[in-house]
Structure formats: structure tokens, C-alpha cells
A = this chain, B = another copy of it.
Amino acid sequence: MIKKCVVLLSGGLDSSTCLAVANDAGFDCYTLSIDYGQRHLAELNASAAIAASMSKNPHQVVQINLDSIGGSALTDHDIEVPDFDDAQNEIPVTYVPARNTIFLSTALAYAEVVGAEAIYIGVTAVDYSGYPDCRAEYIQAFETMANLATKTGVEGNQLKIITPLIDLDKAQIIKLGDSLGFDYSKTVSCYNANANGEACGVCDSCHYRKKGFQEAGITDPTRYTQSS
């Protein structure tokens, strides 16, 4: 029997590379996107297109209205998304409270329903913008909790949280995806992407993406509305 996994797909560069890696590892992939009140739908559209091209299973979208809770520039329209600031050492306002915990919890429910033995998530502790829920010790604690939380876990079928990108920087991630034949033109990373999927070129996420392609020596297929 082919082993199954759930892949958390945001439509960005990291999670899409994760899907390519899971496919390459021989998993039957169930893609899952969370619609949590992001500022734009460009990444959800990208997720659906990427899922359709890389998995035969229906792409699943779960809606969670985190915008009602607020607290982040990514979901609260009263907080402005800042441009990249090299001197920034604090956790930025683009941090969404408990985001990966909510994403992984939803993936955990879906994994139990489809009978998946693994969840892939594209977190990276290198270019992680200071988000606490991208670190290996957090992922390990989630996995321990997950196996106490579910019927599947209690019955002895241990679930793994797989983070193939955790020790890679952006350039290494891009090289990895490129080596697996993945086409990055479909992905959207920008915090301010417009309805056409064009990137702002100046936010944190655009900064790391541009730098990644440069360092990888691979042509950046991103469509930017401005350059900096």
C-alpha cells in the first residue's frame, strides 16, 4: 500500500518545495491550504494550481477566520506590513499568533481522516524572520502532543511531522526544488501580492526570495511590480 501524507501548502516557495520533496519520497500527497483571512487570495489561488499539477487527490481548503482575532499585520487590516529592515531583531508584526500550531492541528485532523502517516510542513529555522514556531524543538513538541491527541496515535500508529527544509536557507531550498524539476513561477511569496499574483518586491518575504534566487544562481521567475 502506498503511504499517505498531508502537505500544508501555502502557495509559497517553501511549502511548494515541500510538496515536491514529499512526491519524490513516494508519498501519496493530500494537499491542505488554510484560508485564515490573509490580505489577498493570490497565494490560495497559487496553492490550488500547484496542487492540481502535483497531486491526483482533491486539494482541501479549510477556512478559519483568524482575522476576527487579529494581532498580525498579515490578518489585521489596521496594521501595516512593513518594508524589509535589515536591523530588525525583534519578532516582526507579520507574525501571526500560533499560526503553525493552528495549521498543524488542522493537518492533524485531516491526516487522521485520510489515514496519513506523516505531515509535511515547509518551516525553516534559517530565514525564519524570528517566528518561534519554525524551530525544531517546537516541531518535536508538536509531534509528541499529536501522538497523544488522536485515536490513531493512541492505537499505536505514530504520526511523523516532516520538515525537509528546516536546516536550509532560501538558496538551498530553491536549488532543491530545481533539482526535482519544480517550476517556481507558479509560487507566490509576497505579503502584499496583488490580484494578478504580482509581488511588491520590498517586503521581508520578497527580500528573502530575491536573495535566494541570486545566491542559488537560478533565474527568478517572480513578477515584481517594483524593484529595490
Q: Is residue A61 within 8 Å, beta carbon to beta carbon, of the partner chain? A: yes
Interface size class of A (residues with CB under 8 A): 35 or more
Question: Judging by beta carbons under 8 Å apart, are B98 and A108 in contact?
Answer: yes
Question: Judging by beta carbons under 8 Å apart, are A145 and B151 in contact?
Answer: no
Q: Is residue A27 within 8 Å, beta carbon to beta carbon, of the partner chain? A: no
Q: Oligomeric state, in number of copies?
A: 2
Q: How would residues 123 to 157 of chain A score, 1 for a CB under 8 Å from any chain B CB and 0 otherwise?
A: 00000000011010110011011101111011000
Q: Of the candidates B62, B69, B99, B101, which one forms a contact with A65 in the assembled complex, judged by CB atoms under 8 Å apart?
A: B62
Which of the listed residues A109, A137, A146 has the most CB atoms from chain B within 10 Å of its own CB?
A: A109
Enumerate chain A interface residues (CB-CB to B < 8 A): 60-66, 68-71, 91, 95-102, 104-106, 108-110, 112-113, 132-133, 135, 137-138, 141-142, 144-146, 148-151, 153-154
Additional 10 contacts, C-beta under 8 A, given A98-B149, A99-B109, A132-B148: A60-B68, A63-B63, A64-B64, A66-B109, A101-B145, A101-B149, A132-B150, A132-B153, A141-B148, A144-B145
